[in-house]
Structure formats: C-alpha cells, structure tokens
Amino acid sequence: MTLFSLKGKVAIITGGGSGIGKAISVKFAAQGAIVHILELNSDNAKETIAEIEKEKGKVFSHSCNVADAAQVSKVINEIAKQSSPDILVNNAGVAHVGNIENTSEGDLDRLYSINIKGVYNCIRTTIPHMKEHKKGVILNIASIASSVGLSDRFAYSMTKGAVLTMTYSVARDYIHDHIRCNCISPARVHTPFVDGFIAKNYPGREKEMFEKLSKSQPIGRMGLPEEIANLALYLCSDEAAFITGTDYPIDGGFIKLNT
C-alpha cells in the first residue's frame, strides 16, 4: 500500500495555476488524484496542466471567479455530475499591504470578496455533495496572520482570521457527516508573487529585501511551495483520518520562536 495515496479521489483546488496552488495540484495528481483547477483565467493554469499531463496525471481546468457565487455553483456542480468531490482545497487568495488608515473601503471589499466570500462560496457549494456521500475533506489555506499580529497587514489579517474560524465552524458542523476540515497557516513562502512584490516595491534592492524577508523566519529562509503541498497531501489523505478542526502553522518557527 502506498502511503498518502489519493488514487481515484476527485480534488478541487482553487488558485491551482501558480505558487502554492500549483504545487498542491502537481503533488495531488502525482499521488493519483483527479485534479480540477479553478482559476479566474484558465490560461494561468496551462503550465500546471502541462506539468501534470507530462507525468500522465489527470487534470482539468475551469475558468472561475471564486468571488462569484453563481460561477462557483455552476462549475462545482458540473464537476459533481461526473463524480462527487472528495477533496476541496481553498487556496485562491489575494494579499494587501497597509494599516487600517491606508486601507480603503475598496481594498477591504476586494479582499473580503476573494479571501472570505470565495472560501464560503466553494465550501457552501461542495458540502451538499460530500454530505450525500458521507465523506470529504476540506483544507483551507490560512496564514500566520490568522493568529499573530503582523505590521501593515490589516485587511489581509482580517480575512485570514476569518478563514481560520470558518475552518473550526465547518469542522464542528459536519463532523457527523464524516467531513473533515482543517487549515494550513504558512509564513512567507517563496512564490512568483513574492518576487513580483519585491520588484515592484523595492526596485534596485531586490537581493537585499529578499534576504531580509527570508530572515524574518527564525529558520533563516522562506518556505517552498512544495513543502506546503507535502503538508496538504498528508491532511487530505486517509492517513489523517483522525484529524479535523485543526490549524497547522508551517512557518519556520515564526510563531513560537520569533518573540
């Protein structure tokens, strides 16, 4: 028996075209899952699809704005007509830098619509299918910002705090339907988003800022998307059948050692 096998399981992964979502999609497909990537622009998922198909994995891409309840309902229900989803990974999200004074109402609404409502839309549509089959795993990607105060991350922290508490509520409400719900809280992970953020905000100082941001984790570096994917694989596998309603920091010691 292969540990952490997802053979034949249907996995829906939002934001699966890049960064952490891409790593999770590739990892799950390698372990035998039938992966459905939800992306606002399906063109963003082409590289992920090519990588999975090169290794003979099964993957499908769906253009979907997770903030749009009607789109989410249509896409997930169409997937469920073929086979009920076994796994939902809520990874899609956006970041924002700023304290409450320089966070506009528009900024707040945008982060709410994607980071909170997007998770709500996907869970609300998927849960009935999981209930019908009396099984399912939901994994939300939260953040260390869910649990600790970070400077200039007001709106982002607000939304990720909501993801954390949604995780607890869903785990409690659907435990008797044999649906597990957990979340992962990464610290800074080296993704294309980080490189773009540094280039945009610190032109000419990219190397300096990369090293500074890396060292904010006590372990001395940023996490890798593949490391987040490894934890996601475990929590969505049958080997984690006794785990629900739990947040898993994966942070290079940030929460406990950075005080």
Please report the DSSP string for 185-223 in residue order. EE--B--HHHHHHHHHHSTT-HHHHHHHHHTTSTTSS-B
215 and 234 inside one domain: no
195 and 178 inside one domain: no
- Tell me the pLDDT tens digit for each residue of 15-39: 999 999 999 999 999 999 999 999 9
Asked if residues 187 and 144 have their Cβ atoms less than 8 Å apart, the reply is yes
- Tell me the pLDDT tens digit for each residue of 122-132: 999 999 999 99
Residue 5 lies in a domain: no
**In which band, very low, low, confident or very high, does the pLDDT at 98 lie, cut at 50, 70 and 90?**
very high
Asked if residues 185 and 164 have their Cβ atoms less than 8 Å apart, the reply is yes
**In which band, very low, low, confident or very high, does the pLDDT at 178 lie, cut at 50, 70 and 90?**
very high
15 and 90 inside one domain: yes
**In which band, very low, low, confident or very high, does the pLDDT at 192 lie, cut at 50, 70 and 90?**
confident
Asked if residues 133 and 146 have their Cβ atoms less than 8 Å apart, the reply is no
91 and 35 inside one domain: yes
**In which band, very low, low, confident or very high, does the pLDDT at 197 lie, cut at 50, 70 and 90?**
confident
What is residue 44's predicted lDDT score, i.e. its pLDDT?
A: 84
Average pLDDT over residues 156-182: 98
Question: What is the overall mean pLDDT for the chain?
Answer: 95
Residue 258 lies in a domain: no
Beta pairing, strands 136-141 & 87-90: parallel
Report which of 166, 109, 111 is spatially closest to residue 140, judged by C-alpha positions. Answer: 166
What is residue 259's predicted lDDT score, i.e. its pLDDT?
A: 59
Q: Among residues 156, 168, 202, 234, which one is catalytic?
A: 156
What is residue 185's predicted lDDT score, i.e. its pLDDT?
A: 98
Average pLDDT over residues 105-114: 97
Average pLDDT over residues 77-88: 97
Residue 204: count other Cβ atoms within 10 Å of its Cβ: 8
142 and 199 inside one domain: no
Domain that holds residue 206: 190-222
In the residue annotation, 248 being an active-site residue is answered as no
Number of folded domains that form the chain: 2
Task: Kindly give the residue spans of alpha helices, DSSP state H, lying in the chain.
Answer: 19-30, 46-54, 69-82, 105-111, 117-133, 154-173, 192-201, 206-214, 225-236, 254-257
Report which of 1, 59, 6, 35 is spatially closest to residue 234, judged by C-alpha positions. Answer: 6
